[in-house]
Amino acid sequence: MKLSDKKMRKKKEDILLSAIKVVNKKGPNGATMEDIAAELLMTKGSLYYYFKNKEDIIFQCHEMVLTEATSDIVDCQNGNGTNEEKLLNMIKTHIRYAIEKKEIFNMMIKPGEMFTEVQLNQILHMRNEYALKFDETIVKGIASGEFVSEDPVLTRMMILGAMNWIQQWYRPNGKKTINEIQEIYAASLLKLLK
Amino acid sequence: MKLSDKKMRKKKEDILLSAIKVVNKKGPNGATMEDIAAELLMTKGSLYYYFKNKEDIIFQCHEMVLTEATSDIVDCQNGNGTNEEKLLNMIKTHIRYAIEKKEIFNMMIKPGEMFTEVQLNQILHMRNEYALKFDETIVKGIASGEFVSEDPVLTRMMILGAMNWIQQWYRPNGKKTINEIQEIYAASLLKLLK
Amino acid sequence: MKLSDKKMRKKKEDILLSAIKVVNKKGPNGATMEDIAAELLMTKGSLYYYFKNKEDIIFQCHEMVLTEATSDIVDCQNGNGTNEEKLLNMIKTHIRYAIEKKEIFNMMIKPGEMFTEVQLNQILHMRNEYALKFDETIVKGIASGEFVSEDPVLTRMMILGAMNWIQQWYRPNGKKTINEIQEIYAASLLKLLK
Amino acid sequence: MKLSDKKMRKKKEDILLSAIKVVNKKGPNGATMEDIAAELLMTKGSLYYYFKNKEDIIFQCHEMVLTEATSDIVDCQNGNGTNEEKLLNMIKTHIRYAIEKKEIFNMMIKPGEMFTEVQLNQILHMRNEYALKFDETIVKGIASGEFVSEDPVLTRMMILGAMNWIQQWYRPNGKKTINEIQEIYAASLLKLLK
DNA sequence: TATGAATGAGTATTCATTCAT
DNA sequence: TATGAATGAATACTCATTCAT
């Protein structure tokens, strides 16, 4: 029925969230089914009621994370304002992800060992979809004269790369607040499009 | 004597190189001692003649890689030319690493699960030493009026981050040659210091 | 609940008993997890469901054995009769152990390699507790004029030592029955307290 | 030649002595060829020049130890004095062994895992030869009216057992000197023959 | 005579997966 | 729907043994 369907979906999501946490701490190979289950006060056997196997869990983690992030970025894109304003929003959103949802974010940028060719391609494809949102905005900005770039894709790569690196050094009690980082990065990175 | 010492050292290096390859393909947890040995037509048992355990091998991989890369960057720093020219060289060197020694490079930027606190700190310290070379050059460039930056360290983070991301998308038969990438990145990233 | 708790406890005990057998035949180092499991028609992997590791199993073997034996000796001590009668009972009980539960007994008198300092001390402490029961009875017997000994502890050492040696030579089909051995030893060893 | 023959014999003995030490600390299974070699500043490979394999080393350890001890006991037997005096000497000699050559002694009383039937029987036979020396003296003492015993063999078992236990509790800095222990044990144990 | 190097069989341990209940 | 229990394949590591030099 609908009810148990919802429960099922909720539980699945819980498991995925738990898996994300564990995978981020120990890596996909280091994370054990027991780790994932323990977080939820379940036993590892139960996980198999919801997922086919470990690979399946890890894969759906990536899927969930990328879907959510893409949706947020699309929201920026569909908002009001100039292309520059939109891109600034997208940059800030991405940075917020990198910092506040470090675990989820990490999964977005590391395809991770363990997958079959097919699965890996699927994930990389989704990741590319995400990146395309940035490209679209940049290209529109170039068309409207807001931006300048000889190679928009390469420029986007630089922008995303610079931001993805944040989670490598960011520490909660560091000198800069999230806001400051967002502002400085946004301002600086826009220079790449001038 | 010296002879067997050299042989020993050579063998150790061979093992580390093999380990780097395997770790890059399967991650530190996925890489097995057998994988590492097979590459060299050895049996896993033999590895223990040269290294204490797997952890030891993986750690020394990182150590070797970072030492080598730092040495190359220091060479750029000690060369002739303005600070801008030096930084350009460092950027090109870093990009060459990211592309041509993808495996080694990957190890430089992913601390990886599996280490003890002590070991991890040691590795992060070495990585920081590497980054400091960039900072030094940037700071000198600011002093000499070549560069402008409110926050040199943050700017360096952007520059390195942008470059580190290259190995995520670079494909040997892509549209851009290594040279082109080096030029475009160098030119673009310098904008962050203007 | 209680049911599965009991099953668990039963299984653990079975494993310990199997381990005792194997350890006695091959020594603690020679005994393999596979040996221990095979006896119970299990696979070695299953043992880890019940115990943390091999060391844990071996340690708990000693613990179980010493607890049981001490309890039997305390029963003798709490019985009726003179101190001489009590000591005779204790001697006979100890001999019965040495002969009938040779395997368990062996574990009582050989601390065995493989333990950490802490564990070894714990075991030696339990063994000492056991021996103290003999001392108490001897001392009371001296106080009551039944026994004579300049050094009760040393005398107890002789008595226990003499008995512990039995399992080195006793063979089921030998000339003496268990009963005869018990009688002869009890009578002879009491001479040490006269 | 004679010279290299002697060297060979000396080296073999050194190896056996080293093996005895190690086996006593770690048990026959826990002792590694490397341990044995290290003590002598050799490499494990070299041991195979002197002995066929590990089993061979351990076996010859037992052989050496038992031969030496038996020779000492025979000396007591061949000395002057009454049978009681001889037995007292044998007891003191045995105790000295148990205390001063604890490692060697230990090997005498623990046949140890690891042997083939044939080897084990050979060792047990030698051990029996050693015990027979005590029996002979006791029997002669009974014949001469010095001793009384219904079952000389059983009495000898008690005497040896009591002494063998000493190395389980003796500590170099304990309350009793070796001399005192020898005297008390000798005096007490003779009671078993009265 | 000794050793450096390699090997391979064995061992403890982990863990994804299964399944009866 | 969940779990307790078991399994077996994989994996790090050890060590006796071999052998060319």
pLDDT of residue C111: 65
Q: Is 60 exceeded by the pLDDT of residue B71? A: yes
Structural domains in chain D plus CATH codes: 1-51 (1.10.10.60), 53-193 (1.10.357.10)
pLDDT of residue B117: 85
Residue A111 has φ and ψ, to the nearest 5°, of -60, -35
How many secondary structure helices (H) and strands (E) does chain D include? Answer: 10, 0
pLDDT of residue D1: 53
State which residue has its Cα closest to the C1' atom of F10.
B32
pLDDT digits (tens, 9 = 90+) for C60-70: 999 998 999 99
Highest mean pLDDT among B30-34, C97-101, D113-117: B30-34
Q: Stretch D125-136: mean pLDDT, rounded?
A: 95
Write out the two tokens for C57.
Answer: 């199993």
pLDDT of residue C1: 46
- D162 and C159: CB-CB below 8 Å? yes
pLDDT digits (tens, 9 = 90+) for D54-68: 999 999 999 998 999
Q: Stretch A31-46: mean pLDDT, rounded?
A: 94
Q: Is 80 exceeded by the pLDDT of residue B112? A: no
pLDDT of residue C188: 97
Q: Are C64 and C135 in contact (CB under 8 A)?
A: no
Q: Is the CB of C13 under 7 A from strand F?
A: no
CA distance C3 to chain D (A): 40
User: D117-143 and D102-109 are packed helices; what angle lies between their axes, rounded to 10 degrees?
Assistant: 100
Q: Is 80 exceeded by the pLDDT of residue B111? A: no
State which residue has its Cα closest to the C1' atom of F19.
D45
A45: which nucleotide lies closest, measuring CA to C1'? Answer: F3
CA atoms B17, B19, B21, B27: torsion sign: negative
Q: Is 70 exceeded by the pLDDT of residue A21? A: yes
pLDDT digits (tens, 9 = 90+) for A78-130: 999 999 999 999 999 999 999 988 877 877 777 667 788 889 899 999 999 99
Q: Is 50 exceeded by the pLDDT of residue C10? A: yes
CA distances, A79 to each of A89, A127, A179, B123, C73 (Å) = 9, 22, 21, 43, 85
- D166 and C168: CB-CB below 8 Å? no
Strands (E), A17-159: none
Minimum-distance CB partner of B185 among A158, A169, A181: A158
Q: Stretch B32-42: mean pLDDT, rounded?
A: 95
- Radius of gyration of chain C from Cα atoms? 19
Minimum-distance CB partner of C161 among D164, D176, D191: D164
Q: How far apart are CA D145 and CA B27, in angstroms?
A: 84
- A192 and B191: CB-CB below 8 Å? yes
CA of A39 to C1' of F10 (A): 26
- A27 and B25: CB-CB below 8 Å? no
CA distance A109 to chain B (A): 9
Q: Is 80 exceeded by the pLDDT of residue D112? A: no
Burial letters A6-18, b for 16+ CB under 10 A, else e: eeeeebbeebbbb
Q: Stretch C10-22: mean pLDDT, rounded?
A: 95
Average model confidence (pLDDT) across chain A: 92
**Chains with 3 or more CB pairs under 8 A to chain B:** A
Question: Amino acid identity of A21?
Answer: K
Contacts 24+ apart (CB under 8 A), A23-26: A23/A58, A23/A61, A23/A107, A23/A112, A24/A102, A24/A103, A24/A106, A24/A107, A25/B113, A26/B113
| B162 contacts in chain A (CB < 8 Å) | 157-159, 161-162, 165
A120 in contact with chain B, both atoms CB, cutoff 8 A: no
Q: How far apart are CA A74 and CA A76, in angstroms?
A: 5
Q: Is D35 exposed, middle or buried (0-12, 13-18, 19+ CB in 10 A)?
A: middle
Give me the D residues in range 1-60 that sit within 7 A (CB) of strand F.
30-34, 44-45, 48, 53-55
What percentage of chain C has pLDDT greater than the value 70? 97
Q: Please identify among residues 161-190 of chain C the ones whose CB lies closer than 8 Å to any CB of chain D.
A: 161-166, 168-169, 176, 181, 184-185, 188-189
- D114 and C30: CB-CB below 8 Å? yes
Average model confidence (pLDDT) across chain C: 92
Q: Stretch C146-162: mean pLDDT, rounded?
A: 96
Best D21, D22, D24, D29 member to test C by mutation, with max C CBs in 10 Å, is D29
D48: which nucleotide lies closest, measuring CA to C1'? Answer: F17
Q: Are C70 and C129 in contact (CB under 8 A)?
A: yes
Question: Amino acid identity of C182?
Answer: Q
CA atoms C175, C177, C182, C188: torsion sign: negative
Write out the two tokens for C186.
Answer: 């009890």
pLDDT of residue B1: 45
Tokens 């006695």 found at: C24
Q: Stretch B75-99: mean pLDDT, rounded?
A: 95
- A169 and B150: CB-CB below 8 Å? no
State which nucleotides on strand F lie below 7 Å from a protein beta carbon: 1-20
CA proximity to D159, closest of D137, D192, D111: D192
Q: Is the CB of D92 under 7 A from strand F?
A: no
Give me the D residues in range 129-168 that sit within 7 A (CB) of strand F.
none
